[in-house]
Amino acid sequence: MTLVAETRGAGVAHSALRGRRRRNRLTVLAFLTPWLLGVTIFFVYPLLDTLYLSFTRYDLLSPPKWVGLNNYVFMFTKDPQVVKAAFNTLWLVVVLVPARMLFGLAVATLVTRLKSGLGIFRTVFYLPALVPPVAGVLAFVFLFNPATGPVNQFLGALGLPQPLWFNDPTLSKPSLVLLGLWGVGDLMIIFLASLLDVPREQYEAAALDGVNPWQRFRYVTIPTISPVLMFAAITGVIAALQYFTEAVVAASVASGQATTGGGNSSLLGYPEGSTLTYAQWLYNMGFKNYYLGYASALAVVMFLISLAVTLVLLRRARSLVYGVEGTR
Amino acid sequence: MTTTPRRRRRLAMLAAAAGLSMLASACSSTGSTPSAPSSSAPTKLTGTVTFWHFFTDREAKGIAAAVDKFVAANPGVKVEVKSGQDDDKTIQAIAAGQPIDVVLSYSTDQIGKFCSTGAWQDLTPYITRDAVDLNEIPTVVRDYTQFDGKRCSMPALSDTYGLYYNKKLLAAAGYSSPPKTMTELTDMAKKLTVLDGKGAITTAGFVPTFGFYENAPAHFAPSFGATWFKADGTSNIGSDPGWASMMTWQKNLVDFYGYDKITRFTAGLGQEFSADNAFEKGKVAMMIDGEYRNAFIKAEAPALEYGTAPFPTDAAKTDLYGSGYVTGNVIGMGRGAQNPEAAWALIKFLSTDTDTVVGLANAIKNVPTTTPALTSPNLVKDANYQTFLDVFANANSSTTPTTSSGKAYQDTLGTFTEQWQAGKIPDLSAGLTTVDTQINDQLSLGKAP
């Protein structure tokens, strides 16, 4: 009887414990619900829908029809533009991201060394980042106009060659890089904050050890600001993979934009497809030609590439970022 | 086989994913039954009609005046007009299930999509019931307002292309009339071109580069008798010699200027639809453009001494002289229209009522799209505008074909022409054949196996 009572008592206690745990879980779930709803509606659902649509023929106006792997077969075997777009995007990832990081770091380092006028220079370097992208590109393309732009007039006055800039397929992407460097204020400001955060005593200790400026930068500054550098690299790569507005506006303005009905430029990625990015091609196929199924396939591939690049960068971060668990 | 909790969770997630996916497909689906007309046209119209069109500013006022006339004739109807709505917006609105009674679009290229998907309703039952005489609409216009036998739109004015020339510059170079063949155009362009001391172009006789203002293969095609598709629906660009002739003529003139030099020149010119337009500023002696340019010149450069003529033709196809590229605006009834009878009445009024069509043409300076309107004494016209009425009426004038894939085929050729004019295509014939393959592949993209 006692045993039964004890067992019953233990059972009741166990049941009460389970009930408390359940209530706790429900409480946690209740607090998480807004976030879960947001993620489900704005991330999981669109992601799954995109994945489903990538296997269909879908034009937005009629119901999707299942076509199996057709869209992926077309992408990898029959679409010359996607190859060009992927190359241009990769070029921007490889050149634009490091260039902006290096330039941003150089400007931030320079600003930290200023004895006076720090506020003014910080503002001057940051201001371009506040200019709306379309306005910035318009101004930049006019500045670099091969015939009437002040840049070429200045070069001409010096007797130097006057390039075609945005109208030359070999210079259009480097011109976009120049545009990116002009607007480097967003990176400069976070680099500046992290540089100012490097402990003075570490520099003093390094000075006592007799290190030269490069060694001081390489072995004191870089390790300390490495988490910020990694953040800049990851967000920079993702932004480069989605590069769109600047390329579209630059191509449109530089081409003079002839129309072939519908007000659409006939010269996508002008000049000669050199500014056609992956995101631009995706948009064009989806919302200009209404191949929404194919555009979804392009989006799925882009998502997988972005995910892979981010994972690789995060994995590398273990060995590159000072202070991360399991690192040097 | 045992089912572990982890496995159960995975299965549940998969089921949820599948459910969401099915929900996604259900949400993506769009469709509704088209409105069926009553057996006879109602004697009195009532209710509200939503009318989306793309016009803005001066041109939107012309549309508003025509709508006011319709409302005055049908006092029981209220028309809610939304101007400045381009194709992207209307397509997305219709896809989202927003009922739009009447839509006016600038793009005949999208008619294939509008008709084939049912986004725009088939108007045939209304046309048949009201005995609308489609023979009053020229053949080329009838072609671009229907797709695959399904008439989902009516014409609402057209754009017709021809040659604009600067009389003063031509006279200074010793010419009293415009060119009639591409050979003459090339010779005159060379003579009319002026260089500065450093060899840079200050005035171009004719800018040949594709992408400059209205220089598009589609706009030149009628002058070379070039056709886009074969009877079986596959691309004809590699087989039709007209395209090779066009490319050869164009490249020769580009080479005369030098690609870099002409690119530098065009980069410094004003935007096409601005008061800095190069022709209006006298920096280009001749150019291809639509009839609407007359209205822009009148507003922006009234002192310009200019003339218009049909665009020159290939020297081997002089019988085509007088023809040109024709496109236009289309008007139709959106899927899910709430007031179909009043919507149809407005469409019919704007597209077939002679006084209304003439009034719109006079206001917007486009070409009217019915024979009675074209011959109406109320149509205000001068010699420069008359050129386009004649081109429009020419039996050889043509338009771009409608496909269910919109204008993707034109973009594919456009990409090729950029490479071609830059001298990056060593073998024209092989290049055009590749364009064929690319267009055919793109047309079949996503088709169910």
The chain A residue lying nearest B159, using CA atoms, is: A261
3-state SS assignment for residue B181:
strand
Amino acid occupying residue A314: L
pLDDT in tens, A64-93: 999 999 999 999 999 999 999 999 999 999
A 10 A CB-CB count for A267 gives 27
The chain A residue lying nearest B93, using CA atoms, is: A61
Between residues B31 and B410, the one the model is more confident about: B410
> What is the predicted pLDDT for the residue at B2?
47
Average pLDDT over residues B402-421: 90
Where do we find the tokens 């030269």?
Answer: A212
Could you tell me whether strands B47-53 and B77-82 are parallel, antiparallel, or unpaired per DSSP bridges? parallel
> What is the predicted pLDDT for the residue at A264?
44
Residues of chain B found within 8 Å of residue A58, distances taken between Cβ atoms:
28, 446
Average pLDDT over residues A168-177: 96
The chain B residue lying nearest A148, using CA atoms, is: B268
Give the rounded percent of residues in chain B with a pLDDT score beyond 90.
76
pLDDT in tens, B134-152: 999 998 899 889 998 899 9
H-assigned helices in A169-277? 172-182, 185-196, 200-208, 213-216, 222-241, 245-255
Beta bridge partners of A279: none
The two tokens of residue A262 are 């519908």
Residues of chain A found within 8 Å of residue B212, distances taken between Cβ atoms:
256, 258
Give the rounded percent of residues in chain A with a pLDDT score beyond 90.
74
Q: What is the 8-class DSSP label of residue A314?
A: H
Average pLDDT over residues B335-349: 95
Chain mean position to CA B130: 28
Alpha carbon distances (Å) from A154 to A74, A140, A144, A205, B268: 48, 15, 11, 48, 16
Restricting to B residues 188-207, those with a Cβ less than 8 Å away from any Cβ of A are 200
pLDDT in tens, B17-59: 445 444 444 444 455 556 678 888 888 999 999 999 998 888 8
> What is the predicted pLDDT for the residue at A16?
82
CA distance B76 to chain A (A): 32
> What is the predicted pLDDT for the residue at B109?
83
Within 13 Å, how many C-alpha atoms sit on residue A1's CB side? 0
CA distance A97 to chain B (A): 28
Dist CA A184 CA A181 (whole Å): 5
> What is the predicted pLDDT for the residue at A13?
74
pLDDT in tens, A300-316: 999 999 899 888 888 88
Prediction pTM value = 0.84
pLDDT in tens, A10-64: 677 778 888 888 899 999 999 999 999 999 999 999 999 999 999 999 988 889 9
Among the listed residues B392, B250, B376, the one whose alpha carbon sits nearest the alpha carbon of residue B308: B392
Residues of chain B found within 8 Å of residue A56, distances taken between Cβ atoms:
25, 446
Average pLDDT over residues B399-416: 88
**Cβ-defined contact of A70 to B449 (cutoff 8 Å):** yes
B262 at A interface, C-beta within 8 A:
no
> What is the predicted pLDDT for the residue at A322?
62
**Cβ-defined contact of B448 to A291 (cutoff 8 Å):** no
Which of A56, A256, A260 comes nearest B271 by C-beta?
A256
Average pLDDT over residues A213-229: 92
> What is the predicted pLDDT for the residue at B39?
81
Mean residue pLDDT of chain B comes to 90
3-state SS assignment for residue B301:
coil
Most A CBs within 10 Å, among B107, B159, B415, to test the A interface? B415
> What is the predicted pLDDT for the residue at B42?
87
Average pLDDT over residues B256-263: 96
Length of chain B: 449
CA distance B93 to chain A (A): 10
Dist CA B123 CA A288 (whole Å): 25
H-assigned helices in B312-427? 340-352, 354-364, 371-374, 383-393, 408-421
> What is the predicted pLDDT for the residue at A17?
83
Dist CA A243 CA B8 (whole Å): 41
Average pLDDT over residues B246-252: 98
Give the rounded percent of residues in chain B with a pLDDT score beyond 70.
91
**Cβ-defined contact of B424 to A272 (cutoff 8 Å):** yes
B400 at A interface, C-beta within 8 A:
yes
pLDDT in tens, B260-298: 999 999 999 998 888 999 999 999 999 999 999 999 999
CA distance A30 to chain B (A): 20
User: What ipTM score was computed for the predicted complex, to two decimals?
Assistant: 0.82
